[in-house]
Each structure stands twice: as structure tokens, then as C-alpha cells.
Amino acid sequence: MKIDINENIAKLIHSNETLKNDLISIGFIGLDNPLMIKNMANKMSIKRGAKLLGISEIESKLESLGYEVIDSSLDNDVIERQKLIKSYIRRLSDGENIENVRKDFKENFDGVSSSEIMDAEQTLLSEGMDKDEVRKLCDVHSSLFHGMTENENIKKTYENDVLKYFSNENNNINKALETYNALPVEEKFAESKELKRLLNIHYRKKGDLIYPLLKSKYNKPGPSEVMWGVDYEILKSFSKAIKNKDLDLLENTLARAEEMTYKEENILFPLLEENLSDEDYSNIYNDLSEYDHDINNNQIKTYNKASKQKDENTEGYIYFSKGRLRVDQLEALLDTMNIEITFVDEEDINSYYNNHNGDKVFKRPKSSLGRDVYSCHPPQAERKVRKIISDLKSGARDKVVVIRDIAGSDYTVTYYGVWDKKGNYKGILETVQNMDFYKSYLKKWNKL
């Protein structure tokens, strides 16, 4: 039997019990579960599934079971399309006129998928093209594909609640940008802070809930390395333009924000629909309860937080060197403190967030637990995060203290290296604390 390992698993095993059992035998656990087929196999190829499950030499294993294996991703037509898309992006990066490149593109393509665009950019990055250069030209690259993406051609709408939510928010951002652009020049700086606030709300959700998931779970680092970086640059440029009253920079930043709405609708959201499972959507849906919904005009369903399962060992105690606590007591204790707490273990994996009832400066989505901490930061911040963790791991510093002005309040963000009494490194503790309370008392006592 001939099988294409780049084909959808659910499609391949439909009415083929033998193939399903053979795949289970070589490591595709869960294919006997209808929910697993619906959530994962329906959106994944054998090739990608093998990579995620750590199944090596998938082709030879299938051949040993008597299958003739082909890989359509290595098809000459597919490879040629990838080469052409890469060549167009390189020509733009080299400064060639976009209309000349677009003319050649339209002669060779009737349309292009979101995956093809992201795969082309990711291949260029892996081949050594500078990330900053790719981000700088990201808007030029995407403008090449205007009117040619599959999503535009079918005028896609979403039934999925999460995609519908993000798409609606993106549309409202686009409307806000159009309204802002229509303002007289003298009013633009006065209204720019509110527009930046809305963009920050939207970009934070993408940065917390979407980019790290695509990178760490689905090996799609392109959005993290390119689009997340552009989001960061847009917000930074907005702040600089407002501070310096720089109209040219403001106009340029607005154009980039508009182009980002196009990239989300026609590249990012189709990529999510192609890859994410029902479990991913459920996790994102629940995590959205922690975020502002201003851009959606608060016209949303009530987001139900994931129900907390009762711990079977609630009556059991954890014994410390000075005392004991039940799990429910320990969690209540940590959540009572008006401090945001994060613990990253010795393998640099997000392991714990407390959940106090006060306002949170940094959203800590539950879906990010179990991922490496570096995937949760935009590319511009990753080097700094690695330096802090490296210093704390090596003992070069025992803590790192950062004072930040956030929305007009001073916050202390402190990173501690955590070591046991035998000198074994256990991880990083991060605490975030509002300092306004202490400042008010210092002023009252004339100490400040």
C-alpha cells in the first residue's frame, strides 16, 4: 500500500483499521481514542506527528511493515514553489522594486497559503538571513502577497470561538486605525496614547497565548521570531513618536500597525486554524478570562475559568524543615500574598504561577506552563532573559532587581536563584510587587 507521510492522519486511517493499528504499534499512541483523532490526528500529518512524538526513522519503520512511503512535501512542484517564494522575498530584501517582484509573482502563482509564506521566511532565517533584517522588511514581504492569499480569496469567517474572538478584535483594531488616520494632524498626538493602549492589549494576547504555542508545540517559530518582534517594534515606535512629537515616525508606525492587521487575518489566523487542536483552543479560551476585552466592546461570552480539580491528597501534608502544610493551605497562602510569583525550574521550564486576586501586571496563562521560559518572551527580550538566568544559575549574582514604571506605578521585579541547602540549583523565582503602598508611607514620614 502506498501512503503519503505528508497526508492528514485522520484521512489516511479512515476506514483503514490496519494502518491505524500499525501506526499505534510504532508509537502513535492515542489513535484508538476518537477524541485524539478529532483533536490532533485531524490536523496533523504522519511526518509532523512523528516529529512531535519523537518517533525516529518513520519512513523505514513504515517500509518494514510493507508500506510504500512517499513524501509529497518533497514533490518537485512543491519544492519549486518554495524556491520561487524565497527568491521573491530575497529580491525584496535586496531592495528591488516591489511592483517588479509582484509582476513575476502573479505570473507564477494563482494564490499562496499562509503556511507557504511562513515556511519561506523560516527557511530564510535558518539559512542565515538576519532576523532584524527579516523583521524590518516584514511589511514589504507581506505586501507582496496582498490579494493573493487563500484566506482573501475565500473571504474566510470563523465559527471557532477563539479565532472568532481574535478576528473580531483584529477587525476592530483596523477600524480604530482608520478612524485615527482620519483625524486632523493636530489631534493625532492627543489620541495616540489610547490607540497605543488598544494595540498593547491585543499584542499582549498574541504574545502570551499564540506565538509561544506555535513555536514550542508545533515547531512554527516564524511568527515568534518575525511577527512578535514587529509587534514589539510597533509599540516601541509609538512611544518614541508620542514622546518626541515625531509625525513622520507616527505615520510610519500606523502603516506598520495596519499591515499587521492584514498579516493576522491572512497569515496568522489560517496558520492557527491549520495547526491548533481543540485542547489548545480550550486552554486559550480559559486563559482569555485574565485579559481586557475593551477592543471587543465587551460583547463576549463569559469565559469560564478551568475548573480546579480537587487534589486527592488534600488531607495529606507536605513537611518542611519548620512545619507542615496541606496542598490546599499552601496554595491559599501563596495566592493571598499581593505579589505575583513565578517559578521556573532547573530545566528553564515554566512550572508555577500563583493566582492572587489583585490586578496582575503580567498575565500568566495556564497554557504556558510546561514550556521553556524563553518561548514566552519576544525575540528582542530573549537575550536579556538568557543573561539573567545564566548569571543566577552560575552564582555570578544571587538576585537581579529591576524597578519599572508600569502605567504610572512603580513595580519591583526581582529574580532570585533558588538553591537547596546542599547547594543544588533548583530554578528561578520571580516576584512582581507594586511599590506605591511603600512610597506613600515614606512620603508620609518625610523619608522620600
Query: Are 254 and 180 within 8 A, CB to CB?
Result: yes
**Helical (H) or strand (E) element with 414:** strand 409-419
CA dihedral (309, 326, 344, 340) positive or negative = positive
Query: Are 405 and 439 within 8 A, CB to CB?
Result: no
Task: Give bridge partners of residue 340 from the DSSP assignment.
Answer: 432
Query: Are 49 and 57 within 8 A, CB to CB?
Result: no
Other CB atoms within 10 Å distance of the CB of residue 268:
23
- Distance (Å, rounded) from C-alpha 441 to C-alpha 101? 63
Please provide residue 278's backbone torsions phi and psi, each rounded to the nearest 5 degrees: -60, -35
Residue among 144, 154, 73 nearest 109 (CA): 144
CA dihedral (252, 257, 263, 268) positive or negative = positive
**Amino acid code (one letter) for 444:** K
Which residue bears the cell 476506514?
15
- Distance (Å, rounded) from C-alpha 217 to C-alpha 275? 10
Provide the residue-wise pLDDT of the chain in tens; the chain has 448 residues.
788 887 778 878 877 889 988 998 998 877 877 766 665 555 677 887 887 778 888 888 999 999 988 877 666 777 787 788 888 888 887 888 888 888 888 787 777 777 777 777 777 777 777 777 777 667 666 777 777 676 666 666 788 889 999 999 999 999 999 999 888 887 888 888 889 999 999 999 999 999 999 988 888 887 888 889 999 999 999 999 988 999 999 999 999 999 999 889 888 998 898 888 888 999 999 898 888 887 876 545 554 444 444 444 446 788 888 899 999 899 999 999 889 999 999 999 999 999 988 778 888 888 899 989 998 888 888 889 999 999 999 999 999 999 988 888 889 999 999 999 999 999 999 999 998 887 777 777 766 5
Residue among 287, 125, 304 nearest 208 (CA): 287
- Distance (Å, rounded) from C-alpha 3 to C-alpha 19? 10
101 CB-contact burial (10 Å; exposed 0-12 / middle 13-18 / buried 19+): buried
